[in-house]
Amino acid sequence: MRTPSFPSRLPAVGTTIFTVMSALAQEHGAVNLGQGFPDFECDPALLDAVNAAMRAGHNQYPPMAGVPALRDAVATKIEALYGARYDPGSEITITAGATQAILTAILACVHPGDEVIVLEPCYDSYGPNIELAGGVIVRVPLTPGTFRPDFDAISRALSPRTRAIIVNSPHNPSATVWSAADMDRLAVLLRPTDVLLISDEVYEHMVYDGQRHASASAHPELAARAFVVSSFGKTFHVTGWKIGTVAAPAALTTEFRKVHQFNVFTVNTPMQVALATYLADPQPYLQLSAFYQRKRDLFGQGLAATRLRPLPSQGTYFQCVDYASISDVGEEEFCRWLTTEIGVAAIPLSVFYAGGFEQRIVRLCFAKREDTLHRALERLAKIQGR
Ligand SMILES: Cc1ncc(COP(=O)(O)O)c(C=O)c1O
């Protein structure tokens, strides 16, 4: 018997660093600040709502685009926050998390040979998603040091073959946030083009120091060409539920749903029903920035007493640190040492660049209980140098 071999669709993809570091963290009893997920529970009211939805018989296929009550609630939320009115019937789709939403948007609009601009460092699914669509990845670095968008470089990267650009703010991994002025500059650049925008806004409710999230949906010119992607997993501490949304003009949504229909078709019903009810109260997501800002501050103050240099964290639940004063080894080697010798797992920033750009910066996740953060800080305070 023989299993046929075939050319891989994604030959460069192997085991991700997240899996590697999590396994290493477990093996060495390290505090895992590598992978980005909370180590605390969600609001029990949300669990009760899911249970109630199941008991009430919401256990069969929902409509393809999502439970209408949830699409209504999402449209109401977007209008209240960003002043844009999306039609829940034709412009909002419920997805199996942001990852599926982004892949589906790319498969819906990218033809073989089309170029898609990604700003590096970036979330690891973008590149493989573009490759699966047969698109050409055009990588534009964010400015080293500040991770600010380099609009001149973006402008140079635009070509007649550019189909889309992917923007992610608040940004994983750098924890920077685009301002409304940044969105204006992007709009000016895209104005003479037919380039679509895939706006990955999964951390929209984690923005600090009084800054406001500049959603593409709040910018009419950008919204007219944008798939705006959100994730309930990030917002309600339920990353394992894999449920998100895409808001896009009807013409874009029509194409999006053609792919969605033959990809996941629908997303689990009871979670949708529960979220529709839960969204009636805006407080849980309105208070999220303050909730995470306290964790960021606690963690940042602790880091100040270590030899790591914290970079600004303006949004997301990530904190990057510069270790150049401690060591000049590469980022991956430093992360392995930090995990095995110090007992704290982190993620090298270089893995968010296709070319593995090295800056002596690693990413830590502070979506953790206070005792977890204290435990990590105690260990990090012991770093002498290597
Ligand atoms: C920038 C970014 N986009 C998308 C996702 C995926 O979100 P989801 O879990 O809803 O698929 C993540 C998760 O880490 C992320 O950091």
Find the 5 Cα to ligand 1 centroid distance in Å.
Answer: 32
Contact 46, 238 (CB under 8 A): yes
Which two structure tokens, joined as six digits, stand for 12? 């460069």
Instruction: Check pocket membership of 244 for ligand 1, CB cut-off 6 A.
Output: yes
Q: Is the CB of 366 under 6 A from ligand 1?
A: no
How confident is residue 385, by pLDDT bands cut at 50, 70 and 90?
low
In this structure, are residues 199 and 210 in contact, taking their beta carbons and an 8 Å threshold?
A: no
Please give the mean pLDDT across all residues of the chain.
97
Residues 6+ apart with CB under 8 A from 367: 36, 37, 38, 39, 237, 292, 295, 317
Q: Is 176 in the pocket of ligand 1 (CB under 6 A)?
A: no
pLDDT at position 18, please? 87
Q: Please state, in angstroms and rounded to a whole number, the distance separating the CA atoms of residues 302 and 284.
A: 27
User: Model confidence over 266-325: pLDDT tens digits?
Assistant: 999 999 999 999 999 999 999 999 999 999 999 999 999 999 999 999 999 999 999 999
- 160-183 pLDDT, tens per residue? 999 999 999 999 999 999 999 999
The two three-digit tokens of residue 125, written as one number: 């699914």
In this structure, what token pair is assigned to residue 109?
């609009």
Name residue, tokens 């991956």: 332
Distance 168 CA to ligand 1 centre (A): 10
Which amino acid appears at position 260 of this protein?
A: H
Q: Which helix (H) or strand (E) holds 99?
A: helix 97-109
Q: Does residue 8 carry a pLDDT above 90?
A: yes
Pairing of strands 31-32, 344-345: parallel
Tokens of 301: 């103050």
Q: Do the Cβ atoms of 73 and 56 come closer than 8 Å?
A: no
How far away, in angstroms, is 232 Cα from ligand 1 center?
10
> CA 352, CA 348: separation in Å to the nearest integer?
8
Q: What is the structure's pLDDT at 386?
A: 56
Q: Is 29 helix (H, G, I), strand (E, B) or coil?
A: coil
Find out whether the beta carbon of 166 lies less than 6 Å from any atom of ligand 1: no
Distance CA 245, CA 97 (A): 7
pTM value? 0.98
State if residue 168 touches ligand 1 by the CB under 6 angstroms criterion.
yes
Total count of residues recorded for the chain: 386
Count Cβ atoms within 10 A of the Cβ of residue 355 and give its class: 0-12 exposed, 13-18 middle, 19 or more buried: exposed
Q: For residue 207, what are the β-bridge partners? A: 315
* Rounded Cα distance, 280 and 54, in Å: 19
Question: Which residue carries 């600090």 as its tokens?
Answer: 208
Copy the structure tokens of residue 133: 């669509």
* Distance (Å) of CA 15 to CA 19, 103, 131, 227, 369: 7, 19, 18, 29, 28
Q: How confident is the model at residue 384 (pLDDT cuts 50, 70, 90)?
A: confident
